[in-house]
Chains A and B, each alone.
Chain A
């Protein structure tokens, strides 16, 4: 992914914060690593923060059937929930189908999202192994990984998603004239 145009301005604002580094009001309290842990993990696109655990599509198939298929369709074709499979090659057509397989730039994002937000009606109940497995299965259904390929904190970030280079920075204003405010 190209460097974002916004990156030009990034950091300027934090520089201001650093200049005024000393806490002024002293409100709030220090937190321990354990307390931070209770807030739940944070997962970066590069895989930073991914926990221990692993799984393959073989195990993921069962997790999916039990906990996802009722909403996303037996094969990820969609239902109550969005389609998770298909759409490859449709992004530049009149009827694009945006799915994990056709659109998402990072496999780590799938892990992070399923871990935080799915199953929709019981979010936060999946164990780490279940998340690795079911993500492996969704990637497998999309033809992105092999059925027995082990997904864990070191392999998942290396999975190259088909649309990895499909995102570009915000070029606006791209339409509409920049005139004088008043003639």
Chain B
């Protein structure tokens, strides 16, 4: 046995002694007392990562996807994307104005909104710019920094159509301008399509009121669409015949194509999946059994299939999907794997109920070029090396 190993074994022994038995003469003291609002164990460290900028109020922080179990993202780790910081809003004073092309302009307090029939549903939320770096030559090094602007929560709120019925939307209305109460008064034009059937005025997240970073006390939730259009800190819905072409749907969140034209109102998030274990930055202890696992989601409804490759896309096998598979929600997939200790290139590929199959990165780049910036949903490859280290494929 090498010296370092030996020391570790001795320490481990000492640790076991104190944990299980205590020093005989002192006995076991009780642990922490009760507490009002729980904290995770001090041994559990994953946090959102962010790039430092001169205006940290306009930026994003990413969910540590590789550290998540199941499909629910803890509220404290839900990704953030703000354009003018997180406002401090007193729910007692917050109101929602519904006006424009409506029969009865209406002002609703939070109390009014909570009196309306509500539902709770699990949905993913993904920034339109998630994985934006994957369009570039050098792809992201780990799950968090390449795919982490996506999270999944149980949301509670009032179906949008119930609230709108109270105001009576006129037939001429084709768009809804949603406005937030953040400093920039974020505005997005929302097309009034069938896709809004499952839209919510959401005030609950994972059993609690929304987190401030997620729009407390009220946000628009249009499941399956890019995050930015699901306006947080929602203060107004204005009905119009035409979109407003606001800054955040023209200058931002539009997709520039190689011919210099930009796609606008690319709202839906297409099927996407990611292997979260093994993924970049992890290390396998040695050959033997592991569980390959990851997440898949689609704005078109349900995920029907996730395939996994171990050889860089030459062959694929089906992974098992955790039940129940929910509409427009994270779907957890798993595949037991016996690693032979040799190089492997691992990735997942999702298919959704519309029949859409998640494309390879090269296919996306071939059609959309490298300057699209947003709406990347390509297959992400991880390279497992013989020493057990895992990197992005092109590292």
| Binding site secondary structure of chain A | loop
Q: Is A66 close to B, CB under 8 A? A: no
- Comparing A13-21, A126-134, A137-145, the segment that makes contact with chain B is A13-21
Provide the A25-37 mask, 1 if CB < 8 A to any CB of B, else 0: 1111111000110
Contact B106 A30 (CB under 8 A): yes
How far apart are the CA atoms of A103 and B262 in the complex, in Å?
9
- Comparing A39-47, A54-62, A148-156, the segment that makes contact with chain B is A39-47
CB distance from A156 to the nearest CB of B (A): 14
Contact B171 A11 (CB under 8 A): yes
Contact A178 B192 (CB under 8 A): no
Known: A36-B97, A173-B356. A23 touches B185 (CB 8 A): no
Q: Is A4 close to B, CB under 8 A? A: yes
Known: A9-B194, A17-B169, A31-B99. A178 touches B355 (CB 8 A): yes
In the complex, what residues of A have CB within 8 A of residue B105's CB? 30-31, 36
How far apart are the CA atoms of A169 and B261 in the complex, in Å?
10
Q: Is B354 close to A, CB under 8 A? A: yes
Q: Is B89 close to A, CB under 8 A? A: no
In the complex, what residues of B have CB within 8 A of residue A13's CB? 161, 192-197
Contact B174 A26 (CB under 8 A): no
How far apart are the CA atoms of A119 and B171 in the complex, in Å?
37
Contact B184 A35 (CB under 8 A): no
In the complex, what residues of A have CB within 8 A of residue B351's CB? 179, 181
Q: Is A170 close to B, CB under 8 A? A: yes
In the complex, what residues of A have CB within 8 A of residue B175's CB? 10
Contact B357 A177 (CB under 8 A): yes
Task: List B residues 267-288 near A (Cβ within 8 Å).
Answer: 267-268, 270-271
How far apart are the CA atoms of A31 and B104 in the complex, in Å?
8
Provide the B214-241 mask, 1 if CB < 8 A to any CB of A, else 0: 0000000000000000000001101010
Within the complex, which residue of B107, B246, B271 is in contact with A112, where a contact is CB–CB below 8 Å?
B246
In the complex, what residues of A have CB within 8 A of residue B177's CB? 42
CB distance from B216 to the nearest CB of A (A): 20
In the complex, what residues of B have CB within 8 A of residue A80's CB? 54-55
Q: Which residue of A lies closest to B99 (CB)?
A: A36
Among A10, A117, A124, max chain B CB count under 10 A is at A117
Contact B371 A96 (CB under 8 A): yes
Known: A103-B251, A167-B254. A11 touches B357 (CB 8 A): no
In the complex, what residues of A have CB within 8 A of residue B209's CB? none
CB distance from A125 to the nearest CB of B (A): 11
Q: Is B358 close to A, CB under 8 A? A: yes
Within the complex, which residue of B168, B244, B261, B267 is in contact with A42, where a contact is CB–CB below 8 Å?
B244
CB distance from B53 to the nearest CB of A (A): 8
Q: Is B340 close to A, CB under 8 A? A: no
8 further A-B contacts with Cβ under 8 Å, apart from A4-B265, A13-B193, A23-B165, are A4-B191, A6-B193, A9-B191, A31-B97, A40-B185, A92-B260, A170-B266, A173-B270
Chain A contacts to B: CB under 8 angstroms: 1, 4, 6-7, 9-18, 20-31, 35-36, 39-40, 42-46, 80-81, 91-92, 94, 96, 98, 100, 103-106, 108-110, 112-113, 116-117, 120, 123-124, 166-182
Q: 9 tightest CB-CB pairs across the interface, nearest first?
A: A92-B260, A117-B184, A176-B359, A113-B247, A91-B260, A28-B108, A181-B304, A45-B245, A116-B185
